[in-house]
Amino acid sequence: MSTMSAALLVLADGRFPAGGHAHSGGAEAAVKAGRVTDGASLEAFCRGRLHTAGLTAAGLAAATAAGIDPLAVDAAADARTPSPALRAAARRLGRQLMRAARAAWPSPELDALAAALPRGAHQPVVLGLVARAAGLGPLAVAHAAAYEAVSGPATAVVRLLSLDPFEATAVLARLAPELDAVASAAADAAGAALVEGLDALPAPAAPLLDITAEQHAAWPVRLFAT
């Protein structure tokens, strides 16, 4: 159950076939609104996303990996996702991850969740169960969730703005210490949630991500699903 494990590399690989590449994590709407225009504004966007949606997702994933009932964590995820467009996206991503993970790390826990929520659980909940199946602990899966929260927008912005990919990767590298801190905070909160209940999980939110998700979902033509 150590943090460093090749299974984590497989799970967090951008080429893992779980559908993440189709999502910009709100970056497409932010580019259109002129809030992300270059490397510096991408970094500010990713930093905000990491410490809000990223920490929330990492906490949910870590709590599930720690053994808390995935259905209860799924309800906590709903309460932390006011945007129906983002709830639908999280369940779609959860379903796609479930399909890939059942092939990669078959497990009765994954089968049970797929049966209980055939339309998909929130992606971080599935991620937490996948971690259990792959022998990864709460801290490791929190790293994967936190990384996903910023790697998606960074790669999307390379396509949306024709940003230099070296610059996008440099943004991720500069955020690495904060990713570590967010993952630790999420794992600690998961430990607290085992004792105190799920309200102990973090719930930081980003108003613009929630508001613009609904506008983006209504666009007739878009490059990314979110």
Which residues contact other proteins (rule: CB under 8 A)?
26, 30, 33, 35-36, 41, 44-53, 75-76, 78-85, 87, 178, 198-199, 202-215, 217-218
Task: Give me the least distance between CB of 87 and other proteins, in Å please.
Answer: 6
In angstroms, what is the minimal distance from the CB of 135 to other proteins?
A: 30
69: left (phi over 0), alpha (psi -120 to 50) or beta: beta
CB of 198 to other proteins, least distance (A): 7
Closer to other proteins by Cβ: residue 79 or 112: 79
Q: Which is nearer to other proteins, 11 or 85 (CB)?
A: 85
As measured in angstroms, the least distance from the Cβ of 7 to other proteins is 29
Q: Which is nearer to other proteins, 191 or 204 (CB)?
A: 204
* Residue 127 C-beta: closest distance to other proteins, Å: 19
Distance CA 12, CA 141 (A): 9
Closest Cα to residue 179, out of 190, 171, 189, 167? 171
Spell out the residues 6+ positions from residue 73 whose beta carbon is closer than 8 angstroms to its own: 60, 63, 64, 122, 125, 128, 198
Can you say how many angstroms the Cα of residue 156 is from the centroid of all Cα atoms in its chain?
15
Q: Do 147 and 178 touch, CB atoms closer than 8 A? A: no
Nearer to other proteins, 82 or 191 (CB): 82
- State which residue, 83 or 155, has the beta carbon closest to other proteins: 83
Q: What is the CB neighbour count within 10 angstroms for residue 141?
A: 34
